[in-house]
């Protein structure tokens, strides 16, 4: 029997504390968006701290990868279809202790959910982040050699000047340093597609806004949340969106639809 193509919707959201956003209709948002996989980053919780209304949303399996340090980092996924395998981390304890990457394997594709380190004030973690970037890239390349690979998450970097409201003021700030942007260039050139920019080349499209100075209302933001697909499968991506009207975090969700 020939398998027919199906369109799957994926959503990614840095929730900046899943227990806090659960009080702001997280389960309703997940149900309303009706994604095949709904990925979350910066959960700031251990699995044992999650109540059933967070961990057991009807119609979804859920999987979690926590930081050893409590109240910090962490990623999770809600998925309608049980994966063949789950990969926790990127096979490097120096980074995996912070609970930054969880990967689901299905017959036709890998789905990778990631939360990149922040370079931090005065760039105190820039070297750590760049090392993570390098190891993450190696990990992704291994997957992409096997089958279609979908990558989502908070990369904690605005790639180009178009991706933040005030590029000149932020040239040497965390998330827009030359080193971080150069790595992003290398990642894309090595064979990965920024799905949003495949369809939209307009400025003013952001996914994160500071809580200060009414930044979100004024749309003074950064685009630091992404969906990537390996370039061999770029033609399977049929849409990519920023869901800016969904509140509950200082980030908004992003989504893609992919023909599988």
Give the contacts of 14 (CB within 8 A, at least 6 positions apart). 40, 41, 42, 115, 153, 154, 208, 225, 249, 250, 251
CA distance 184 to 99: 21
CA 177 vs CA 33, 122, 158: distances in Å:
34, 11, 9
Give per-residue burial for 84-102: e unless 16+ CB within 10 Å, then b: eeebebbebeebbebbbbb
CA 204/CA 146 separation, integer angstroms:
36
- Whole-angstrom distance, CA of residue 44 vs CA of residue 96: 15
Task: Judge contact between 259 and 5, C-beta under 8 A.
Answer: yes
What are the residues whose beta carbons fall under 8 Å from the beta carbon of 1, sequence distance 6 or more?
none
Token pair belonging to 17: 């504390």
Tally of helices (H runs) and strands (E runs) in the chain: 8, 14
154 is catalytic: yes
3-state secondary structure of 79: strand
Please pick, among 154, 194, 225, 230, the residue that the annotation labels catalytic: 154
The catalytic site residues sit at: 154
């Amino acid at each position: 029997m020939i398998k027919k193509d199906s369109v799957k919707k994926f959503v990614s959201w840095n929730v900046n504390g899943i227990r806090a956003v659960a009080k702001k209709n997280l389960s309703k948002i997940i149900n309303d968006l009706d994604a095949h996989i709904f990925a979350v980053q910066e959960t700031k919780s251990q699995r044992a701290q999650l109540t059933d209304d967070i961990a057991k949303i009807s119609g979804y399996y859920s999987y979690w990868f926590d930081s050893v340090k409590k109240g910090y980092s962490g990623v999770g996924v809600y998925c309608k279809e049980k994966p063949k395998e789950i990969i926790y981390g990127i096979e490097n304890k120096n980074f995996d202790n912070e609970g930054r990457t969880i990967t689901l394997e299905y017959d036709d594709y890998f789905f990778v959910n990631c939360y990149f380190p922040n370079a931090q004030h005065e760039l105190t973690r820039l070297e750590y982040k760049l090392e993570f970037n390098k190891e993450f890239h190696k990990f992704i390349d291994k997957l992409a050699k096997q089958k279609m690979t979908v990558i989502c998450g908070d990369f904690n970097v605005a790639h180009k000047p178009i991706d933040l409201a005030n590029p000149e003021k932020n040239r040497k700030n965390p998330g827009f340093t030359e080193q971080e942007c150069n790595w992003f260039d290398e990642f894309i050139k090595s064979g990965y597609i920024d799905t949003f920019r495949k369809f939209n080349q307009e400025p003013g499209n952001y996914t994160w806004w500071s809580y200060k100075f009414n930044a979100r209302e004024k749309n003074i933001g950064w685009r630091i949340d992404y969906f990537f697909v390996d370039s061999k499968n770029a033609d399977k991506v049929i849409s990519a969106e920023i869901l800016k009207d969904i509140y509950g975090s200082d980030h908004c969700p992003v989504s893609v639809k992919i023909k599988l």
